[in-house]
Structure 1
Amino acid sequence: MENFATILVLGIFFLVLRMFRIIPMRALAVKERLGAFKGVLKPGFHFIVPFIDRIAYVHDAREQVIDIPKQRCITRDNVEVDVDGVVYLKVVDAQKASYGISNYHAAVISLAQTTMRSEIGKMALDDTFRERDKINDKIVMEIDKASEPWGIKFIRYEIRTIEPSANMMNTMEKQMEAERQKRADITLAQGEKQARINVSEGEKQAAINVSTGEKQKRINEAEGRSKEITLVADATANGLKRIAQAIGQPGGASAVKMRIVEQFLEEFGKVLAHSKISVVPGRIAELQAYFQGLSTLTGQTAEAAKPATQQPRSAK
């Protein structure tokens, strides 16, 4: 009797556990009644009829991360590369995720791999490195269309690594080395070109500066000579003017003649002093008469130079 009571209590406890179910916040549960879909149980407390209703599937409602294994792809330019990635998805329809496909995780991996091979095959090797974002967007678009009947929403896809084969890596390293050497040669050539241009520009500017300075120097010298000639001419004109005025004065003509005689004698004395041959005038009488006339002229000049104020007194 006691055993029967114990079994009854355990049976009632088991029925109570089957009648009430608590769905956690992170999950979505699919309820079946007599093997047919009855509804989706959201997080919270739910009543289930024992032996009639049952929880057939429980799906994680959070965003899930699925690792896509590495696979070998061939690019448009026939280069083999190993590509792997990560896909982010979320269950949005628990009914489709339960009855639309048996294992959506395996289906997602296979679909992501085939789509990735297709997109990589449309691009050259260099484009696969430069356009990762475009590849990711295309893969997400294609997978999202194909997985719509599964109740799955693809959020994003990320390519982690793209690794060419060992031979291709060796070839790429040589190509990069050649490209770097090419850029270095181009940079050096451009530097030398710019240096020559700068030197020629400097020489050109220096020549222009020298010619400009020479031109200005000649202009200044010409202006200086012009001013010098002008000043000399003005001074000569002023001197001649004063000489003419002095000659116009009483006794001026005699003074001029005396000055000419003095200059003649001075120059004639210099000739006699430096000459190795005795110079004797051919016309001694004329030279004597010339000096006599000079003495007379000197006396007249002295008389003319006397003060003119004495003449009015003698007139009185």
Structure 2
Amino acid sequence: MSLEQILTGLLGGNLVTLLIALLIIISIFLGVRIVPQSEKYVVERFGRLKSVLGPGINFIVPFIDVVRHKVSILERQLPTASQDAITKDNVLVQVETSVFYRILEPEKTVYRIRDVDAAIATTVAGIVRAEIGKMELDEVQSNRSSLIGQIQNAVEDQVDNWGIEVTRAEILDVNLDQATRDAMLQQLNAERERRAQVTRAEGAKRAVELNADAELYAAEQIAKARRIEADAEAYATGVVAQAIADNGLEAAQYQVALKQVDALAKVGAGAGKQTILLPADAIDAFKNAFGMLKGGK
């Protein structure tokens, strides 16, 4: 055997070995798949769904199984969408919405829907119009959280076949046209004026009630004072009457005489009144008083 034949045989054997080694390396490269934590891989075999690879190291059959789709399972946010809707009381509003979702079953997402973002946006727009059509404008403005919950539940039911979970739906704003805003402003001003009138009327009514209460209280106090005074006079009269009943007419004359003496003393005590004119019967009154005083002693 010549040297040339020996070299040819060695090279041929090494080439086969190299090809086999290369084939093994390619098979390992194609058969081992390391999936990131934030993704899932959809594997096909001869054009049909074979399996879904989760995060970590996975093994597939090289040259037969193919990773056809790499799907992110991170939460996604749809671009802010704006759609017109008509409320139950026929008011045109423009609603801005935003939806957050994530893919749970990639095999459904990639095989059942072509453009998942557009599909979700269209679904949300239809549900928003339907839900707002059931509510009046005041309810849309005041019950926004309830409306958001209804929209989220309705969207979840619609996209369940797509392997998607709607994590959050938000109504960012509810805009009105200028004519509706002007009408609402006029209504608001009218309501404020009505409340102000009611407040003023209630204040006037309360003032009248307070004045009436004050007058009634004053009348009651005056009546009470008069009743007390009458009771005192009645008591004094009763005492005098009892004294007359007990001591006879002399006791009454004695009291009258004392009062006459007291009155004359006060008149005489005045400045510049040294001369006092007395009636003719005044002397008799003094005699009676002094006589009674001596008799009392």
- Alignment pair present for 1:26 and 2:38: yes
2:269 aligned partner:
none
CA–CA distance in structure 2, aligned partners of residues 228 and 18 of structure 1: 134
How far is the alpha carbon of 1:15 from its aligned partner?
5.3
Q: Larger Rg: 1 or 2?
A: 1
CA–CA distance in structure 1, aligned partners of residues 144 and 236 of structure 2: 80
CA–CA distance in structure 1, aligned partners of residues 130 and 94 of structure 2: 14
Aligned structure 1 segments of 4 or more residues deviating by more than 4 angstroms: 7-16, 237-240
Pick the aligned partner of 1:96 from 98, 108, 117.
Answer: 108
How far is the alpha carbon of 1:88 from its aligned partner?
2.5
2:218 aligned partner:
206
How far is the alpha carbon of 1:103 from its aligned partner?
1.8
1:225 aligned partner:
237
CA–CA distance in structure 1, aligned partners of residues 37 and 132 of structure 2: 40
CA–CA distance in structure 1, aligned partners of residues 101 and 218 of structure 2: 73
**TM-score, normalisation: structure 2:** 0.72
2:131 aligned partner:
119
1:266 aligned partner:
none
What are the Cα deviations for residues 34-69 of structure 1, in whole angstroms up to 9, with x where unaligned?
A: 211011111001123333222222222233332341
**RMSD, matched Cα:** 2.8
**TM-score, normalisation: structure 1:** 0.68
CA–CA distance in structure 2, aligned partners of residues 128 and 239 of structure 1: 95
- Alignment pair present for 1:56 and 2:56: no
CA–CA distance in structure 2, aligned partners of residues 144 and 138 of structure 1: 10
CA spacing shift, 1:38–1:206, aligned 2, 3 Å: same
Amino acid at match of 1:76: K
CA spacing shift, 1:239–1:169, aligned 2, 3 Å: closer
1:155-194 maps to which residues of 2 (within 5 A)? 155-194=167-206
Asked if 2 retains the 8 angstrom alpha-carbon contact of 1:68 and 1:112, the reply is: no
Asked if 1 retains the 8 angstrom alpha-carbon contact of 2:156 and 2:166, the reply is: yes
CA–CA distance in structure 2, aligned partners of residues 25 and 139 of structure 1: 31
- Equivalent residue of 1:50, what SS? coil
Asked if 2 retains the 8 angstrom alpha-carbon contact of 1:68 and 1:113, the reply is: no
Amino acid at match of 2:69: Y
Percent of paired sites with the same residue: 30
How far is the alpha carbon of 1:72 from its aligned partner?
1.4
Asked if 1 retains the 8 angstrom alpha-carbon contact of 2:112 and 2:162, the reply is: yes
Aligned residues: 240
How far is the alpha carbon of 1:111 from its aligned partner?
0.2
1:141-290 maps to which residues of 2 (within 5 A)? 141-236=153-248
Pick the aligned partner of 1:74 from 86, 91, 94.
Answer: 86
How far is the alpha carbon of 1:10 from its aligned partner?
8.5
In structure 2, runs of 5+ residues without a counterpart are 1-10, 253-279, 284-297
How far is the alpha carbon of 1:194 from its aligned partner?
1.2
In structure 1, runs of 5+ residues without a counterpart are 241-269, 274-316
Asked if 2 retains the 8 angstrom alpha-carbon contact of 1:68 and 1:109, the reply is: no
- Equivalent residue of 1:51, what SS? coil
What are the Cα deviations for residues 236-284 of structure 1, in whole angstroms up to 9, with x where unaligned?
A: 47879xxxxxxxxxxxxxxxxxxxxxxxxxxxxx59x9xxxxxxxxxxx
